[in-house]
Amino acid sequence: MFILLRPGCALKDRARILRAIEEAGLAVQVSEGHHRIVIGVVGEEDLLRGVALETFPGVESVIRLRPPYRLAARETHPDESVVAVGPTRIGGGNLAILAGPCAVEEEEQFLAAAQAVKAAGANLLRGGAYKPRTSPYDFRGLGAPGLAILRSVSREVGLPVVTEAMDTRHLDQVAQHADMIQIGTRNMQNYPLLEAAGRARMPVLLKRGRACTVSEWLCAAEYVLDAGNPSVVLCERGLVSFDPAVRNHLDLSCVPLVKRLSHLPIVVDPSHGTGRRDLVPAMARAAVAAGADGVMLEVHPRPEQALSDAQQAILPEELEALVPELRAIQEILRRHPVRIA
């Protein structure tokens, strides 16, 4: 930690700052320049958590060197984490293809979608039983009966399944029927839900809040990790955009950034990230090229009949064409590993 003092900081104010740091059990190094004085704090800066140094007279700014998340940080965990969801591995050079319809609509639709995505090469099935919708009059999912369909179809096709839990009240139910719990963009900062997911002892797919920074996202992951659950996968799904041409603005630059800051695997959802079926394949390829550990794709056997997110669902045959392209891109990266600076 560095503390920059105001020009002309009184000696008594400086002494007070130094005393507060030393009383917290830390050492100081004072650098006196021609115009300004900087205090370097040596030791574990967490010891100063309860000391609001910014409020001390004479302090201009405080630069903290440790990120506000710990367990999610690469510096505390240099090796990349690999998250197991049934037989599927996310991270560590494996390519995860999470695919399926936006929502479980009825058994026949979900089974057809699941069989199609499995045949196309997906290794994790997706589908929502509890759907967060902007308008309450839109299809909000089948709820508990949807979870039962999800479980039976997942068993029938032999793919692990991820589905969203919107509420702590549904978490146990979701955990019993799925192999991975999804926390949606709207709930990324629902701290009781994150803590409950942390206690659930099952992998968590944590979507990035639609207007959240990478640091806030990693802090949200920290809640799950801190509650005792090490199996967190991050999912970039686009940020609010000023441009109505796309539903969201897909932030692919966060992929190498997250890789640098964290050991957690990261996947990208270009379906919600663009909201446009025609843009999904290109952004999926770009995501893998950027170093993502996988992609999440909405696939529907009859998009024109989909009850939610019809405009962004790709067809099973589009997934089938895309999967070998994604694997080819990943193979290039394997042969020419990308440096995480």
Q: Is 185 in the site for ligand PEP (CB under 6 A)?
A: yes
What DSSP string describes 117-135?
HHHHT-SEEE-BSS---SS
Dig out the tokens for 44 from the structure.
Answer: 């574990």
Stretch 54-93: interaction string toward ligand PEP, x if CB under 6 A: ----------------------------------------
CB of 103 to Mn ion, least distance (A): 7
Q: Is 237 in the site for ligand PEP (CB under 6 A)?
A: yes
Q: Is 102 in the site for ligand PEP (CB under 6 A)?
A: yes
CB of 98 to Mn ion, least distance (A): 12
> In terms of CB distance, is 102 or 171 closer to Mn ion?
102
Closest CA to 150 of 166, 165, 161, 142: 161
Contact by Cβ (8 Å): 182, 207: yes
Dig out the tokens for 168 from the structure.
Answer: 């702590």
Q: Is 309 in the site for Mn ion (CB under 5 A)?
A: yes
114 binds, among ligand PEP, Mn ion, none (CB under 5 to 8 A by kind): none
CB of 239 to ligand PEP, least distance (A): 11
Distances (CA, A) of 84 to 6, 21, 92, 130, 287: 51, 44, 11, 24, 21
Q: Which stretch binds Mn ion (CB under 5 A): 23-31, 95-103, 172-180, 273-281?
A: 95-103
Residue corresponding to tokens 């105001």: 6
Contact by Cβ (8 Å): 154, 88: no
What DSSP string describes 80-144?
PP-EEETTEEEBTTB-EEEEE-SB---HHHHHHHHHHHHHHT-SEEE-BSS---SSTTS-----H
Q: Is 102 in the site for Mn ion (CB under 5 A)?
A: yes
CA angle at 238 for the pair 236 and 241, rounded to the nearest 5°:
160
> In terms of CB distance, is 171 or 306 closer to Mn ion?
306
91 binds, among Mn ion, ligand PEP, none (CB under 5 to 8 A by kind): none
Q: Is 303 in the site for ligand PEP (CB under 6 A)?
A: no
> In terms of CB distance, is 270 or 301 closer to ligand PEP?
270
When CB distances to ligand PEP are compared, the closest residue is: 184
Contact by Cβ (8 Å): 126, 268: no
> In terms of CB distance, is 118 or 237 closer to ligand PEP?
237
Residues that bind ligand PEP (CB under 6 A): 102, 128, 132, 184-185, 207, 237, 272
